[in-house]
Amino acid sequence: MKIAFIGGGAMGEAMLSAILDRGLAIPESVSVSDISQSRRQHLGQKYSVAVLSNNRQAIDSGDIVILAIKPQNLAEVMAELSGQLKPGQLVLSIIAGARINNLCLGLNHRLVVRVMPNTPVQIGEGISVWTATAEVTKQQRRWVGSILGAIGKEIYVDDEKYIDMATAVSASGPAYIFLFIESLVEAAVHIGLPRDMAQELVLQTLLGSGRLVQKSGKEPSELRRMVTSPGGTTAEALLQLEKGGFSDLILQAVIAAYNKARRLGD
């Protein structure tokens, strides 16, 4: 397949790298447009793809046009590309907050997929939630599934409302996890552990716990009860988290992110 990227930032580069690594496209069939000369030079040298500063030229021969620009640049890019897309070209947007209807209207085009990925796609461990207009063909949906599968896991949803919900959980979620890691490491250092040991303990505990949930088939609540002995150290720690309203804080954080995601699409 021929692919055109509009925007060559970190997320777009992650997709580009995975597409080439998986053999979904060859460098000669990929073009990347970016306003930054340094980014164009980097991407051209590293991936041997065609790099351009002109968006209209970049989309000239793409089967798929991937919009990987910042939200604040969307209106300008849509005005530039409106009426320029070929009838059979698929537009895949990873732009936060950009709703499908707005993309269709702004681009004057109906073959549109909206994707909400998260930052772990940069190492092939992400998860992407996506939806598509009714006009997107079965073959094009398979293309999208292959691309997103190359950067992690993917979930298709029929209703776009789930995209904003996923934004609050999986897209913003890595930041919550990073904050938890940071806090747990600092707590470990505070009680006397060397920082390098604290970091290794925390990271492996987090990774191992996540895999245990995946592989055990048990609910997190059940696993939590299994590791919590009455009157033990874990019970004492969990009591402090409950006193601090840990679960309610997580709930409020997700609700705030969800409401913000909805406002971005207005």
CATH code for residues 3-163: 3.40.50.720
The angle at the Cα of 143, spanning 142 to 145, to the nearest 5 degrees, equals 60
Q: Which residues contact 257 (CB under 8 A, 6 or more apart)?
A: 167, 168, 172
Q: Homologous superfamily of 173-264 in CATH?
A: ProC C-terminal domain-like (1.10.3730.10)
Q: Tell me which residue has tokens 């601090």.
A: 244
pLDDT per residue over 212-240, tens digit each? 999 999 999 999 999 999 999 999 999 99
Mean pLDDT value across residues 141-151: 96
Long-range own/partner contacts, residues 202-208 (CB < 8 A, 24 or more apart): 206/177, 206/180, 206/181
Q: What is the mean pLDDT of the chain?
A: 94
Flag whether pLDDT at 1 surpasses 90: no
What the block records as the tokens of 65 is: 């046009």
pLDDT per residue over 52-92, tens digit each? 999 999 998 789 999 999 888 999 999 999 989 999 999 99
What pLDDT does 51 receive?
93
Instruction: Give this prediction's pTM.
Output: 0.89
What the block records as the tokens of 190 is: 């505070």
Sequence ranges of the domains in the chain: 3-163, 173-264
pLDDT-derived band at 138 (thresholds 50, 70, 90) equals very high
What pLDDT does 263 receive?
87
pLDDT-derived band at 9 (thresholds 50, 70, 90) equals confident
Residue 47 · residue 30 · CB < 8 Å: yes
Residue type, 262: R
Mean pLDDT value across residues 241-256: 96
What pLDDT does 97 receive?
86
